[in-house]
Amino acid sequence: MNHDVFVYGSLLFADVFEAVTGASPPRAEARLAGYARYRLRGETYPAIVPEPDAETVGAVYRSVTHATLDRLDRFEGEEYLRTRVEVVLTSGERVMAHAYVLDPLEHRRLEPAPWDPEHFDRTHRAAFAALHPLRR
């Protein structure tokens, strides 16, 4: 069985996703209601946390294999909890997907500012992808 995975940060960028996982599954733009995306203190990547009136724009990688999901688990580490969420694709289709949500024990690391994907793209993406090559 393959999986759908909602991404909202560095993994939004196909080159980063491929550097981390060695895979290039199909993807679709999506929105996740009930979660907000924030910067993390001292990091270039974000986290999402439950917030009832919020919405996070991201993408869903479709048909992700177990092996790729295992690589994502290692990449995200213990500070994130893989959680099943319902997302809405731009087509209007609702799908259940895995998302990496910041562990509540790590919420002290959140900054009050939202994370900006355009800023990450301009200033950190290339270096971030180079730092995270696939580790087999």
Phi, then psi, of 79 in degrees rounded to 5: -75, -10
Q: What are the residue boundaries of the structural domains of the chain, listed by start?
A: 3-125
- All residue ranges of the chain with pLDDT < 50 are 135-136
pLDDT score recorded for residue 126: 86
Model confidence over 69-89: pLDDT tens digits?
A: 999 999 999 999 999 999 999
CATH number of 3-125: 3.10.490.10
Task: Give the C-alpha separation, 5 to 100, whole Å.
Answer: 9
Q: Which two tokens stand for residue 88?
A: 């809405």
